């Protein structure tokens, strides 16, 4: 079982280093790349988790895979390997991104729509829903969902705003039956 308290401490340490060195945006981008690589590549995930692979081989692979990353990211990954905490990489990345978003007044949002959103639509959705959740703006991930029939559904953290045609039909059905 993963300890989120430990992940928060690593993320906070990295955040403080980024803040002190004025590299918040750079490390934010790099952490997102690390998270994407580790979560989307089963090979990297399995390699890092394997107890049969020596620490030296893991470190060599990390140096090659993340050669373009800053020394702070590389040092964090090496430290996690040394302490046998490779399974925490994704959790630390998530915690770091949350700290960055909080500092910038940004929230991550998933917007479900029937078709891809234009940049203007994303900006309008960001402006409207950011105010509802007390943030400056939203990082929007657009997910195409053909079951919506029309409209959009927005998920920000634990909150869901359902303005989809399917959602409206479901609410109308509950009202008529209730």
Task: Label residue 1 by pLDDT band (50, 70, 90).
Answer: very low
Which among 133, 176, 175, 170 has a CA at the least distance from the CA of 154?
A: 133
pLDDT tens for 34-68 read 999 888 888 888 888 888 888 899 899 888 888 88
Distance in angstroms (rounded) separating the CA atoms of residues 18 and 25: 8
Domain boundary among 70, 101, 132: 101
Q: Give the domain extent around 13.
A: 4-101
What values do phi and psi take at 158, rounded to 5? -95, -5
Split into its structural domains, the chain has a count of 2
| Same domain, residue pair 113 and 90 | no
pLDDT tens for 66-107 read 888 889 999 999 999 999 888 899 999 999 999 999 899 999
| Same domain, residue pair 110 and 91 | no
Q: Is 134 left (phi over 0), alpha (psi -120 to 50) or beta?
A: left
Q: What is the pLDDT of residue 61?
A: 87
């Amino acid at each position: 079982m993963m300890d989120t308290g430990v992940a928060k401490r690593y993320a906070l340490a990295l955040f403080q280093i980024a803040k002190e060195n004025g590299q918040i945006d750079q490390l934010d981008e790099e952490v997102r790349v690390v998270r994407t690589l580790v979560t989307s590549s089963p090979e990297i995930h399995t390699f890092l988790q394997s107890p049969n692979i020596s620490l030296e081989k893991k470190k060599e692979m990390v140096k090659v895979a993340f050669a373009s990353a800053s020394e702070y990211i590389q040092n964090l990954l090496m430290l996690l390997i040394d302490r046998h905490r490779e399974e925490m990489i994704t959790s630390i990345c998530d915690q770091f991104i949350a700290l960055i978003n909080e500092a910038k007044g940004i929230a991550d949002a998933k917007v479900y729509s029937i078709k891809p959103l234009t940049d203007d639509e994303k900006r309008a959705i960001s402006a409207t829903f950011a105010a509802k959740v007390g943030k400056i703006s939203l990082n929007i991930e657009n997910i195409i969902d053909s079951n919506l029939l029309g409209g959009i559904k927005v998920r920000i953290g634990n909150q869901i705003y359902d303005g989809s045609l399917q959602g409206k039909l479901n609410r109308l059905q509950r009202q008529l039956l209730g």
